[in-house]
């Protein structure tokens, strides 16, 4: 099973989500799932994570290296069991890439306390503190993400 987290440039939110999901799945004893992350844009291809994202992950005890940003493809969408976007804009862009995809969702849809359709705000434009808020938002959605992964595994 493959789960891909997607944001604009694959240097902040989506690689944070990938690493949070890895640890959450391991802690929950959830196996046979591979987490990855990607961008909808090509603006940061090959770049490492934003240093503020790296610092927030490191401070919270998550894996933070290595990382090189890449742009999602129609094949990657088709091969994934679940593709989770950070914002509605990312969903729209992926629907343009893969119009028939039925495996797309929004991360905040998995957080019962989040406003429906709210998405995870982009911390890139703010201070380093915003990256910790991003980690918080992603962590809040992770139990729901893992529940969806379990459901998909049970369907196989």
pLDDT of residue 118: 93
CATH classification at residue 143: 3.40.50.2300
Residue 143 lies in a domain: yes
Domain total for the chain? 1
Write out the catalytic residue numbers.
7, 13, 122
Residue 40 lies in a domain: yes
pLDDT of residue 156: 83
Residue 75 lies in a domain: yes
Residue 20 lies in a domain: yes
pLDDT of residue 33: 98
Q: CA-to-CA distance for 123 and 49, rounded, in angstroms? A: 13
Quote helix, strand, coil % in the chain, to nearest 5: 45, 15, 40
Cis preceding linkage at 111, omega within 30: no
User: Nearest Cα to 144, choosing from 103, 97, 116, 109?
Assistant: 109
pLDDT (tens, 9 = 90+) of the chain, 156 residues, equals 999 999 999 999 999 999 999 999 999 999 999 999 999 999 999 999 999 999 999 999 999 989 999 999 999 999 999 999 999 999 999 999 999 999 999 999 999 999 999 999 999 999 999 999 999 999 999 999 999 999 999 998
* pTM for this model (two decimals): 0.97
Q: CA-to-CA distance for 99 and 4, rounded, in angstroms? A: 17
Residue 62 lies in a domain: yes
Residue 155 lies in a domain: no
pLDDT of residue 145: 98
């Amino acid at each position: 099973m493959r789960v891909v987290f997607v944001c604009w440039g694959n240097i902040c939110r989506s690689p944070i989500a990938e690493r949070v999901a890895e640890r959450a799945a391991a802690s929950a004893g959830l196996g046979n799932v591979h987490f990855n992350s990607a961008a909808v844009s090509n603006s940061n291809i090959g770049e490492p994570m934003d240093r503020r994202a790296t610092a927030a992950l490191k401070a919270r005890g998550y894996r933070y290296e290595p990382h090189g940003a890449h742009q999602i493809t129609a094949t990657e969408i088709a091969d994934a069991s679940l593709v989770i976007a950070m914002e509605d804009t990312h969903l729209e862009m992926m629907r343009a890439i893969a119009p028939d995809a039925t495996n797309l969702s929004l991360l905040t849809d998995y957080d019962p306390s989040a406003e429906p359709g709210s998405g995870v705000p982009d911390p890139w434009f703010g201070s380093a503190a915003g990256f910790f808020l991003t980690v918080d938002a992603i962590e809040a959605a992770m139990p729901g993400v893992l529940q969806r992964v379990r459901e998909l595994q049970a369907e196989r």
